[in-house]
Amino acid sequence: MIGDREGRTPDVTVALPERAERTPRPGASRHDVVVVGGGHNALVAAAYLARAGLHVTVLERRDEVGGAAVSATPFAGLDARLSRYSYLVSLLPYTIVRNLELVVELRSRPVSSYTPLRRGGRDTGLLVERKLGAATEESFRRITGGDADFQAWRRFYEQLGRLARALAPTLLNPLLGRGQLEALAREEGAGQAWEWVFEQPIGVAVEQHFGDDAVRGVVLTDALIGTDSWAGDASLKQNRCFLYHVMGNGNGEWRVPVGGMGSVAEALHRSAENAGARILTGAEVLHIDPDAGGGRAEVTYRDAAGTEQTVQAGYVLAGVAPAVLTRLLGRGGGAQGPHPQGTQLKINMLLDRLPRLKSGADPHVAFAGTFHIDEGAGQLRDAYQRSHDGALPDPLPSEVYCHTLTDRSILGKDLLKRPDVQTLTLFSLHTPPGAASKDEMVRRALAGLDAYLAEPLADCLAVDADGAPCLEAKTTEDLQAELAMPGGHIFHRDLSWPYAERADQVGKWGVETGIDNVLICGAGARRGGGVSGIPGHNAARAVLDRVADAGRRRSSGI
What are the tens digits of pLDDT across the range 322-351?
999 999 999 654 444 568 999 999 999 999
Helix (H, G, I), strand (E, B) or coil at 444: helix
The reported pLDDT for the residue numbered 335 is 42
The reported pLDDT for the residue numbered 24 is 45
What are the tens digits of pLDDT across the range 37-67?
999 999 999 999 999 999 999 999 999 999 9
What are the tens digits of pLDDT across the range 439-461?
999 999 999 999 999 999 999 99
Query: Are the C-beta atoms of residues 136 and 128 closer than 8 Å to each other?
Result: yes
The reported pLDDT for the residue numbered 334 is 42
Q: Binning pLDDT at 50, 70 and 90, where does residue 30 land?
A: confident
What are the tens digits of pLDDT across the range 262-306?
999 999 999 999 999 999 999 999 999 999 988 899 999 999 999
pLDDT at 513 over 70: yes
pLDDT at 73 over 90: yes
Q: Which residues contact 19 (CB under 8 A, 6 or more apart)?
A: 291
The reported pLDDT for the residue numbered 377 is 97
The reported pLDDT for the residue numbered 25 is 53
Query: Residues 9-27: what's their mean pLDDT?
Result: 40
Measured N-to-C along each axis, helices 213-224 and 134-144 cross at an angle, to the nearest 10 degrees, of 120
CA distances, 291 to each of 313, 322, 548 (Å): 11, 19, 21
What are the tens digits of pLDDT across the range 406-433?
999 999 999 999 999 999 999 999 999 9
pLDDT at 13 over 50: no
The reported pLDDT for the residue numbered 553 is 54
What are the tens digits of pLDDT across the range 93-112?
999 999 999 999 999 999 99
Query: Residues 391-409: what's their mean pLDDT?
Result: 97
pLDDT at 7 over 80: no
Q: Beta strand 296-302 with 308-318: parallel, antiparallel or unpaired?
A: antiparallel
185 phi and psi, to 5 degrees? -65, -45
Q: Which residues contact 439 (CB under 8 A, 6 or more apart)?
A: none
Q: Binning pLDDT at 50, 70 and 90, where does residue 386 land?
A: very high
Query: Are the C-beta atoms of residues 223 and 229 closer than 8 Å to each other?
Result: yes
pLDDT at 18 over 50: no
Query: Residues 180-193: what's their mean pLDDT?
Result: 98
Which one, of 398, 416, 367, 418, lies nearest residue 109 by Cα? 367
Task: Look up residue 320 and give its amino acid.
Answer: V
Angle at 20 between CA 15 and CA 23, to 5 degrees: 115
Per the DSSP assignment, residues forming a β-bridge with 423 are 350
Q: Binning pLDDT at 50, 70 and 90, where does residue 550 land?
A: confident
The helix or strand, by DSSP H or E, that contains position 82, with its residue range, turns out to be: strand 82-83
* CB contact burial 368-401 (16+ within 10 A = b; e otherwise): bbbbbbbbbbebbbbbbebbeeeebbebbbbbbb
Rg (CA), the chain: 24
The reported pLDDT for the residue numbered 31 is 87
Q: Binning pLDDT at 50, 70 and 90, where does residue 74 land?
A: very high
pLDDT at 5 over 80: no
Q: Binning pLDDT at 50, 70 and 90, where does residue 555 land?
A: low
Q: Where are the beta strands (DSSP E) in 250-343?
A: 256-257, 278-280, 284-293, 296-302, 308-318
What are the tens digits of pLDDT across the range 198-227?
999 999 999 999 999 999 999 999 999 989
The reported pLDDT for the residue numbered 11 is 46
Task: Look up residue 339 and give its amino acid.
Answer: H
C-alpha to C-alpha distance for 529 and 171, rounded to whole angstroms: 12
C-alpha to C-alpha distance for 554 and 558, rounded to whole angstroms: 6
DSSP state letters, 440-492: HHHHHHHHHHHTTBSS-GGGTB-B-TTS-BSEEEE-HHHHHHHH--GGG-TTS
